[in-house]
Amino acid sequence: MAGRNLAYLAERISSGAFTIGQVRVESGFSLTHGEDAGRTDLKVFQNPHDAIVIARYDDAGKYRPLKTAPNLAHGWKLQLGSLEAVLLALDFLYPAEVGTAAWQAAGDLQHVSLRETLGRQSGMYAVTRKLSGEQAEALVQGFCRPGCLRRILWTIEGEGASGGAESTEPGTVPLFCAEACNLFVAEARKVVKPAATKMRYGAAGVSRSRGKSSRAHRQPFPSAATNVLRPAHAGRYVLQRPSGQFLEGFQIFRRRLGDDLLGQRRSGRLLVPVEAFEVVAHKLLVEARRASARSIFGFRPEP
Q: Considering the chain, what percentage of its residues have pLDDT values greater than 70? A: 60
Q: Considering the chain, what percentage of its residues have pLDDT values greater than 90? A: 52
Q: Could you give the angle at which helices 97-106 and 83-93 cross, rounded to 10 degrees? A: 100
pLDDT at 151 over 90: yes
Arithmetic mean of pLDDT, 237-251: 52
What per-residue confidence (pLDDT) applies to 2? Answer: 75
For residues 101 and 173, is the Cβ–Cβ distance under 8 A? yes
How far apart (Å, rounded) are the C-alpha atoms in residues 265 and 250? 22
Q: Rounded to 5 degrees, what are φ and ψ at 215? A: -65, -25
Nearest-CA neighbor of 33 among 104, 45, 16?
Answer: 45
What digits encode the pLDDT tens for the residues 83-108?
Answer: 999 999 999 999 999 999 999 999 99
pLDDT at 206 over 50: no
What digits encode the pLDDT tens for the residues 131-147?
Answer: 999 999 999 999 998 89
CA 132 to chain centre: 26
CA distances from 258 to 30, 254, 267 (A): 74, 8, 18
Does the model's pTM come out above 0.75?
Answer: no
What per-residue confidence (pLDDT) applies to 157? Answer: 87
What per-residue confidence (pLDDT) applies to 291? Answer: 64
Nearest-CA neighbor of 148 among 71, 90, 73?
Answer: 71
CA distances from 34 to 10, 29, 38, 48, 172 (A): 20, 15, 10, 18, 11
For residues 208 and 53, is the Cβ–Cβ distance under 8 A? no
More confident residue, 221 or 239: 239
| Domains parsed from the chain with CATH numbers | 2-95 (3.30.1360.190), 114-198 (3.30.70.2320), 231-259 (no CATH)
CA distances from 249 to 6, 36, 225, 231 (A): 68, 61, 19, 10
How far apart (Å, rounded) are the C-alpha atoms in residues 137 and 115? 13
How far apart (Å, rounded) are the C-alpha atoms in residues 6 and 12? 10
